[in-house]
Chain A
């Protein structure tokens, strides 16, 4: 079956611009996670959705970052007024029910802010 997909695979933008990153989880997975991976680091948790609601957004670095999952499937990570420090690979993962289930990761979106 299809795994987690993310679009675009690469995004180059200018400082100050707005970007949206999309995640399509595995069908039937109710839990969805966003992570950010900077160069030379492991994935860093951003936000966790259970169904349509953000169950835990404690990892979002500031209010420029926002994520939605309106129908409990596809999720969009939105970054306003991008800064050069936002450059990273943004990873999405999904799991069947929640944190105790194995997380399956997408290939990530590489965001470069010039």
Chain B
């Protein structure tokens, strides 16, 4: 059962524009959400997180939005840079369990 879904396998944006990566989840028990970034031949690297008691968390160019009623979260990157090109995984956590989405490959074109 896929409790965390990233429906877009890939996304391409122009440098300087906004990148928006989306994630949907089905389990209402999830109370902590994370985004990880992965370069080829490396492990996932933690990027940003949000607790279920918040609806927005911002860190520099990265902002995560959480819509609990829709069971949806998104990651905004603005402005996008070529170095942001990577695979982004959404993850959701509850009760000593963490589930990952399948990832979205972001390509930022110069």
Determine whether the beta carbon of B44 is less than 8 Å from that of A43. yes
Indicate if B89 sits at the interface (CB-CB under 8 A): yes
Bound form: Cα–Cα A105–B44 in Å: 6
Residues from chain B with Cβ under 8 Å of A48 in the complex: 96
Question: Interface with A: B11-19, B54-62, B65-73, B99-107, which one?
Answer: B99-107
Report chain A residues within 8 Å CB of B100.
35, 42-44
Whether a CB of chain B sits under 8 angstroms from the CB of A20 is no
Q: Which residues from A are CB-within-8-Å of B44?
A: 43, 91, 105
> When the two chains form their complex, are residues A91 and B89 in contact, meaning their CB atoms are under 8 A apart?
no
Answer yes or no: A79 CB below 8 A from chain B CBs.
no
Interface residues on B, range: 20 to 34
User: How far is A5 from B64 in the complex, measured between Cα atoms in Å?
Assistant: 29
- B43 & A40 in contact (Cβ 8 Å cutoff): no
Which of A40, A41, A42, A102 is packed against the most chain B CB atoms within 10 Å?
A42
Interchain nearest-CB distance for A78 vs B (Å): 20
B45 contacts the other chain (CB 8 A): yes
Residues A45 and B98 in contact, CB atoms below 8 Å apart: yes
A33-60 vs B: 1/0 string, CB under 8 Å? Answer: 0010000111111001000000110000
Contact of A45 with B43 in the complex, beta carbons under 8 Å: no
The answer on a CB contact under 8 Å between B103 and A4 is: no
Question: Does residue A72 face the partner (Cβ distance < 8 Å to B)?
Answer: no
Q: Which among A55, A56, A93, A102 is the interface contact of B43 at CB below 8 angstroms?
A: A93
Minimum distance in angstroms from A88 CB to a CB of chain B: 13
Q: Kindly state whether residue B41 has any CB partner on chain A within 8 Å.
A: yes
A108 x B43 contact (CB < 8 A): yes
Is A99 located at the chain interface by the 8 A CB criterion? yes
Residues on the B chain within 8 Å of A99, using CB: 93, 96-98
Are A91 and B96 in contact (CB-based, < 8 A)? no
Interface residues in chain A, defined as those with a beta carbon under 8 Å from any beta carbon in chain B: 4, 35, 40-45, 48, 55-56, 91, 93, 98-100, 102-108
